[in-house]
């Protein structure tokens, strides 16, 4: 009985980790798209010059 419960628990943990990793991949893709768009569409700074959209 205990080995079956351990296998089921392991399956649930791996399923949860797989779902979390898939969600993190989608978040990473969205952040990458926003980052690339930030370089393409740069906001203008004060004085009419083209500025940086990031702060570092």
Print the domain residue range for 35: 1-44
Residue 25 lies in a domain: yes
Contacts of residue 31, defined as CB under 8 A and 6 or more positions apart, other chains included, come to none
Residue 51 lies in a domain: no
Q: Give the pLDDT score at 12.
A: 86
Residue 52 lies in a domain: no
Average pLDDT of each block of 10 consecutive residues along the chain (56 residues)? 86 85 90 84 58 57
Residue 30 lies in a domain: yes
Residue 50 lies in a domain: no
CA 33, 34, 37, 38 torsion-angle sign: negative
Q: Give the pLDDT score at 30.
A: 93
pTM of the model: 0.55
Q: What is the DSSP letter of 41?
A: S
Residue 40 lies in a domain: yes
């419960």: which residue's tokens? 5
Residue 5 lies in a domain: yes
């Amino acid at each position: 009985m205990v080995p079956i419960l351990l296998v089921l628990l392991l399956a649930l943990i791996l399923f949860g980790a797989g779902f979390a990793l898939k969600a993190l991949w989608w978040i990473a893709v969205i952040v990458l798209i926003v980052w690339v768009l930030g370089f393409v569409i740069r906001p203008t700074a004060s004085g009419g010059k083209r500025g940086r959209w990031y702060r570092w």
